[in-house]
Chains A and B, each alone.
Chain A
Amino acid sequence: MLYREAGQFKTNYTSDQAVFPILQDRVGILVILAIAFVIIPTTGNDFILNAVMIPFLIFALASIGLNLLTGYTGQLSLGTGAFMGVGAYACYKLTTIFPDVNIIIWIIVSGFFAAGTGVVFGLPAVRIKGFYLAIATLAAQFFLEWCFTRIPWLYNYNVSAAIEVPQRELFGIIVTGPRATAETRYYIVLAIVVVMTWMASNIVHGRIGRMWMAVRDMDIAAELMGIRLLPTKLLAFAVSSFYCGVSGAMMVFLWYGGAESTVFNINQSFTILFMIIIGGLGSLLGSFLGAALIYILPIILRFVPPEFGIPVHAATVEHITFMLVGALIVLFLIAEPAGLARLWQIGKQKLRVWPFPY
């Protein structure tokens, strides 16, 4: 009843092609932004911000990155974790070498380092695809992870072989390091994620996004239509790794506060991949939904059963999470390959005719 587009006439192509063509959607996105920017920071406590919202947004950004590559361009990658690591280590090196530069700038710039690495390891995509490419990206994953442990220069010759986030201020407010408040970090993460999601939306709705999708759907046809495969695929690797790099840098600087190389291991890559499979391949909304489901599922499993007086062991929670995630992957691939995002589309269609379906 509320979600109806009757009476909303489009008089030009611009409004017809808009990302949110319906008024209710535009209102909805504003409401979500208002909740994210105003209500959550004012009402939420440190636990909500630190353990739920910040990680969720960071994972969502990494998922968007992988989705641009796997969902939109059709190139399966298992090196996401390593590309996130490149961002994190690049940001760490940059801010220790140039401590006076604004940390936000370094977080963004570190994405370019990840993008460069992504292009190098994306080169095999020129000749191979499918699971052959997936194995080639495994080389990136293991080689880069090895670099993070065995090249002491990357972590400034620390004894612990870990990177510790130094304290950085921005306009007199402590932004990173142990003394930064959860609100400050949340606002920075949120702002970066919102801006980068908006940019990703523009990319995928524009010429580049259409090129990517043409390559994904049928590369030979795309080539015949005049799309040059090599630059298109490498661009996808670059943009995707840029997003992953920024999210990796944010993960260490604005969430963990320090990290070892194991944070960026193969399991991280799989987690992100599962987020986009469950959320929806080729959907920005799906990246958020998948990140929410995969990240929040273990939290729910850990905190809800004790509320009902059922004690659960932390290890048990982990095992059950693994089983559930595995089962969900298979289930979604069988029942709804387009993931949660597709379910949301179906829901919207139902909502349009509700409460009088006929």
Chain B
Amino acid sequence: MGPLYQIFIDPFVQMGTAPDLLVQTLWEGMVGGMLYALIALGFVLIFKASGVFNFAQGIMVVFAALTLVGLYNVGVPAFLALGLTIAVMFGLAFVVERLVLRPLVNQPDIILFMATFGLTYFLIGAGEFVFGGDPKVMITEQLFLPKGAVTYKALGGIISVQKLDVAAAVIASVMVAGLAVFFSKTRIGRALRAVADSHAAALSVGISLEQIWVIVWFAAGLVALVTGIFWGARSDVSFALDVIALKALPVLILGGLTSIPGAIVGGLIIGIGEKMWEFYWGPLIGGGTDAWFAYVIALVFLLFKPQGLFGEKIIERV
């Protein structure tokens, strides 16, 4: 039982002898990865349309979920609260465009990137100031989301699947398909892609940059809200989630900054990869390895394939 055996052979033996655990781990990883992918999707939307690397996307997820739960807790009916939260996200998009993006037009990317740090901190402070800093429980039944788990007897063991996770997968797929149609078929979608290709060219054919930015930040806000609902349902809603939300950054590196399929595939790879790594190899080096697995994968990717799996080769080489 040398260390080489433990690293290279034993985990695979475990996978072979307990396929039910393997399937369960894969499923857990896939669900986690889907949530990373949804956050990454919000990043990609904004990056494509405005070239802004929106560090605050992860916080927007928590902020949206917190607004929804906070409104419900003060007595607003669930679906009205949902509507109001959508309105808040639109307001946020409008204010961000007016107060942050517009004054910073034509600044270097890195300045805009740092401005979104400021936005992140502001949203954390504002969210906790208004709704309190204590963790909250996401409203799931009120939004008619299924609860409980289904268990299957398969592969010589029991595999349990949360109904909520299935619902999340379905809704996420629908949302991504909707966005794809929106981008390729509608007038606004075409305008968005035009802006993504070239700001100056888009302006010259009469596309309003300001309007597009509000729309795209609002779209990212909606994605954040959906992500926030499912994420909040899996754990409590609090800003402690922001560390997990940061994992969307390595997902982006893996998938490429400008690719929606890349965000999804990257999210699934990171999600499944870190669960497998933590479950089969983590115990060898003390556990808790999912804190850095994604970042180290991203680091390796940055060194060898900086444009990611699906990204355009626009990255500046030094």
* B316 is an interface residue with CB less than 8 A from chain A: yes
On whether the beta carbons of A124 and B118 are closer than 8 Å, the reply is no
Distance in angstroms between the alpha carbons of A219 and B117 in the assembled complex: 25
B276 adjacent to chain A (CB < 8 Å):
no
Closest 4 CB pairs of A and B: A322-B125, A329-B118, A326-B122, A323-B125
| Per-position binary interface string of chain B over residues 289-300, scored 1 when its CB falls under 8 Å from any chain A CB and 0 otherwise | 101100110110
Residues of A near B121 (CB, < 8 A) are 270, 274, 322-323, 325-326, 329
CB contact under 8 A between A131 and B317, given known A316-B129, A321-B125: no
- B209-227 interface mask toward A, CB cutoff 8 Å, 1 = contact, 0 = none? 0000000000000000000
B201 at the interface (CB under 8 A from A): no
Q: Scan residues 326-340 of chain A and give those whose CB is less than 8 A from a CB of chain B.
A: 326-330, 333-334, 337
List which B256-293 residues lie within 8 A (CB) of chain A.
285-289, 291-292
Specify which chain B residues have a CB less than 8 angstroms from the CB of A135 in the assembled complex. 249-250, 252-253, 295, 298, 302
Contact B249 A138 (CB under 8 A): yes
In whole angstroms, what is the CA distance A135 to B253 when docked? 8
Chain A: residues with Cβ within 8 Å of the partner, total of: 49
Query: With A266-B246, A330-B119 known to touch, is A149 a contact of B288 (CB < 8 Å)?
Result: yes
| List of B residues within 8 angstroms of A141 by Cβ | 295
Residues of B within 8 Å of A198, CB to CB, are: none
Inter-chain contacts of B318 with A (CB < 8 A): 125-129, 219, 229
Asked whether A326 lies within 8 Å of B125 as measured between CB atoms, the reply is: yes
Q: Which residues of the partner chain A approach B125 to less than 8 Å between Cβ atoms?
A: 319-326
Contacting pair A273 B295 (CB below 8 A): no
- Given the known interface contacts A128-B315, A135-B295, A320-B129, the answer about A330 and B53 at a Cβ–Cβ threshold of 8 Å is no
Tell me the smallest distance from the CB of A330 to a CB of chain B, in Å: 4
Contacts of B292 in A (CB 8 A): 139, 142-143, 145-146
A189 to B53, CA, bound (A): 38
Q: B10 at interface (Cβ–Cβ under 8 A)?
A: no
B243 touches A127 (CB 8 A): no
Contact of A136 with B by CB under 8 A: yes
Assuming A131-B109, A322-B122, A326-B118, is B104 touching A124 (CB within 8 A)? no
* CB closest chain-A residue, reference B295: A139
Are B117 and A124 in touch, CB under 8 angstroms? no
B124 touching A322, Cβ below 8 Å: yes
Q: Check B117–A270 contact: CB distance below 8 A.
A: yes
**B171 at the A interface (CB under 8 A):** no
| A143 and B295 in contact, given A131-B110, A135-B250, A333-B115 (Cβ under 8 angstroms) | yes
* B residues lining the A interface (CB < 8 Å): 53, 99-100, 103-104, 107, 109-111, 113-115, 117-126, 128-129, 133, 243, 246, 249-250, 252-253, 285-289, 291-292, 295-296, 298-299, 302-303, 306, 315-318
Does the CB pair A146–B291 fall under 8 Å?
Answer: yes
Contact indicator per residue, chain A 115-131, by CB within 8 Å of chain B (1) or not (0): 00000000111111111
Chain A positions near chain B (C-beta within 8 angstroms): 76, 123-132, 134-136, 138-139, 141-143, 145-146, 149-151, 219, 229, 266, 270, 273-274, 277, 315-316, 318-330, 333-334, 337
For the complex, give the distance between the alpha carbons of A131 and B298 in Å.
13
CB distance B118 to A333 under 8 Å? yes
Contacts A149-B288, A229-B318, A329-B117 known; list 14 others, CB within 8 Å.
Answer: A128-B318, A136-B299, A139-B250, A146-B292, A150-B285, A266-B243, A319-B126, A322-B125, A326-B117, A326-B120, A328-B118, A330-B100, A333-B114, A334-B103
- List B contacts of A130 (CB < 8 A): 109-110, 113, 316
Q: What is the bound-complex CA distance between A323 and B126, given in angstroms? A: 6
Contact partners of A321 in chain B: CB under 8 A: 125
Residues on B with C-beta less than 8 A from A219 are 318
How far is B117's CA from A277's CA once the two chains are assembled, in angstroms? Answer: 11
Residues of A within 8 A of B115 (CB): 329-330, 333-334
Known contacts A329-B115, A333-B114, A334-B104; decide if A151 and B286 are in contact (CB<8 Å): yes
16 contacting pairs across A/B (C-beta < 8 A): A127-B317, A130-B113, A132-B302, A138-B246, A138-B249, A138-B295, A139-B250, A139-B299, A141-B295, A146-B291, A146-B292, A277-B114, A323-B125, A326-B124, A330-B115, A333-B107
Find chain A residues with CB under 8 A from B289 CB.
146
A320 to B250, CA, bound (A): 31
- Which of these, A229, A266, A319, A329, contacts B129 with CB under 8 Å? A319
Closest beta carbon of chain A to B243's beta carbon, Å: 7
Complexed CA–CA distance, A349 and B108 (Å) = 28
Q: Which residues of A contact B306 (CB under 8 A)?
A: 127-128, 132
Once the chains are docked, how many angstroms separate the CA of A221 from the CA of B117? Answer: 30
Which residue of the partner chain A has the closest CB to B117?
A329
Query: What are the residues of chain B within 8 A of A149 when measuring CB–CB?
Result: 288
Complex Cα distance, B317 from A274, in Å, reads 27
Q: How far is the CA of A244 from the CA of B97 in the complex (A)?
A: 36
Query: A85 → chain B, closest Cβ, in Å?
Result: 14
Interfacial chain A residues near B129, Cβ < 8 Å: 316, 319-320, 323
- List the B side residues contacting A76 at CB < 8 Å: 110, 113-114
- For the complex, give the distance between the alpha carbons of A139 and B291 in Å: 10
The CA of A88 and the CA of B114, in the complex, are separated in Å by: 28
Expressed in whole angstroms, the Cα–Cα distance for A277 and B243 within the complex equals 22
Closest Cβ neighbor of B253 among chain A residues: A135
Chain B residues in 8 Å Cβ range of A333: 104, 107, 111, 114-115, 118
- Nearest A residue to B110, CB-CB: A130
| Most-contacted residue by chain A among B126, B287, B318 (CB, 10 A) | B318
How far, in angstroms, from A330 to B98 measured CA to CA in the complex? 12
Known A266-B243, A322-B122, A323-B129; judge A127-B117 contact (CB<8 A): no
| A76-B110, A132-B302, A324-B125 given; A150·B286 CB < 8 A | yes
A128, B302: Cβ atoms under 8 Å? yes
Q: How far is the CA of A129 from the CA of B243 in the complex (A)?
A: 23
A124 close to B299 (CB less than 8 A) = yes
In Å, the complex CA distance between A247 and B149 comes to 50
Measured between beta carbons, the chain B residues less than 8 angstroms from A127 are 302-303, 306, 317-318
Q: Cβ of B109 and Cβ of A323 under 8 Å apart? A: no
Cβ-closest chain B residue relative to A129: B318
Question: For residue A132, which residues in chain B have a CB less than 8 angstroms away from its CB?
Answer: 253, 302, 306, 315
